[in-house]
């Protein structure tokens, strides 16, 4: 039986599913230079973190592709012509090169840990910063279609649309993801009122699972109680310390000592959720605590 089919059977039986933890914030905490998602110069560290999450018992492994799209590179130039004029000559090839690399690294970790039954979720995210719904593109269909197909071609088992911050872009990304024929999970970043960060109610869209993430534990609990169709969520812990996810900057979620693994697991156990996990600021110990709680 294929990894996702096995996972789906567990969901149908009502079992709790534990996702892995964050890649970006944890790699930065470990001192990995956040450039090209660590995939060109620190792929060994990326694989090692995947392996630690598998060792902690996660039931789903996410690719290190959050925020990996062409705009990451294009947004720092005046326009595409300017990028081609003064930018590194391979910038336009970074996305089609790094997305398959991210899947390759995740698959290598899964094989090394002997956990071939764990499905790999190819992560797609908003094309602009997930905390800025006001920047959501009017039409990102071509970009989402490219990302979805790159992930599918590289061999992921499902697609996870993560931290979507507007209903409009979520629908666009969902259409692109479903066109691959893979199962699709869709997760929204929410506000303190339990709505999408844009202020809209969490929409009921035709995904294989609807989730919420990328918000403090109390906000996740609020959203889960407000929208019964949601199957689960995963919170960030700590406070976000910008400037951004780009180039040599070091984004961090500070004050994680306020949410040690046992406290986080206890909070999650108070949610009405079948699919749970951790977002930014957490560590493999948080996953271990969720599995044992």
pLDDT tens digit sequence for 97-153: 999 999 999 999 999 999 999 999 999 999 999 999 999 999 999 999 999 999 999
Query: Alpha-carbon distance 280 to 120, whole Å?
Result: 19
Question: Has residue 226 got a pLDDT over 70?
Answer: yes
Query: Alpha-carbon distance 97 to 78, whole Å?
Result: 24
The SS3 of residue 124 is: strand
Query: Alpha-carbon distance 253 to 57, whole Å?
Result: 23
For domain 3-292, give the fold.
TIM Barrel (3.20.20)
**pTM of the shown model:** 0.95
Q: Provide the pLDDT for residue 250.
A: 52
Domain ranges of the chain: 3-292
**In the structure, what pLDDT confidence band is assigned to residue 45 with cuts at 50, 70 and 90?**
very high
Residue 186 token pair: 């869709």
Q: Provide the pLDDT for residue 37.
A: 82
Question: Has residue 206 got a pLDDT over 50?
Answer: yes
């Amino acid at each position: 039986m294929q990894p996702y089919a096995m996972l789906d059977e567990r969901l149908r039986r009502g079992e709790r599913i534990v996702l892995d933890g964050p890649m970006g914030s944890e790699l930065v905490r470990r001192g990995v230079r956040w450039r090209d998602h660590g995939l060109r110069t620190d792929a060994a560290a990326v694989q090692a973190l995947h392996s630690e999450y598998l060792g902690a018992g996660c039931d789903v492994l996410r690719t290190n592709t959050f925020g990996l799209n062409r705009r990451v590179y294009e947004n720092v130039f005046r326009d595409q012509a300017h990028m081609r004029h003064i930018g590194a000559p391979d910038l336009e090839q970074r996305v089609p090169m790094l997305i398959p690399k991210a899947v390759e690294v995740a698959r290598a970790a899964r094989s090394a840990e002997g956990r071939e039954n764990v499905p790999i979720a190819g992560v797609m995210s908003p094309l602009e910063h997930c905390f800025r719904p006001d920047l959501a593109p009017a039409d990102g269909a071509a970009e989402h279609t490219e990302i979805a197909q790159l992930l599918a071609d590289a061999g992921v088992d499902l697609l996870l649309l993560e931290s979507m911050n507007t209903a409009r872009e979520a629908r666009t990304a969902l259409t692109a993801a479903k066109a691959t024929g893979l199962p699709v999970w869709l997760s929204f970043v929410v506000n303190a009122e339990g709505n999408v960060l844009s202020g809209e109610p969490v929409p009921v869209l035709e995904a294989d699972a609807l989730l919420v993430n990328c918000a403090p534990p109390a906000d996740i609990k609020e959203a889960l109680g407000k929208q019964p169709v949601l199957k689960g969520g995963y919170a960030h812990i700590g406070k976000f310390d910008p400037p951004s996810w780009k180039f040599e900057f070091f984004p961090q979620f500070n004050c994680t000592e306020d949410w040690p693994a046992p406290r986080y697991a206890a909070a999650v156990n108070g949610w009405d959720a079948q699919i749970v996990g951790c977002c930014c600021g957490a560590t493999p110990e948080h996953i271990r605590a969720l599995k044992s709680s």
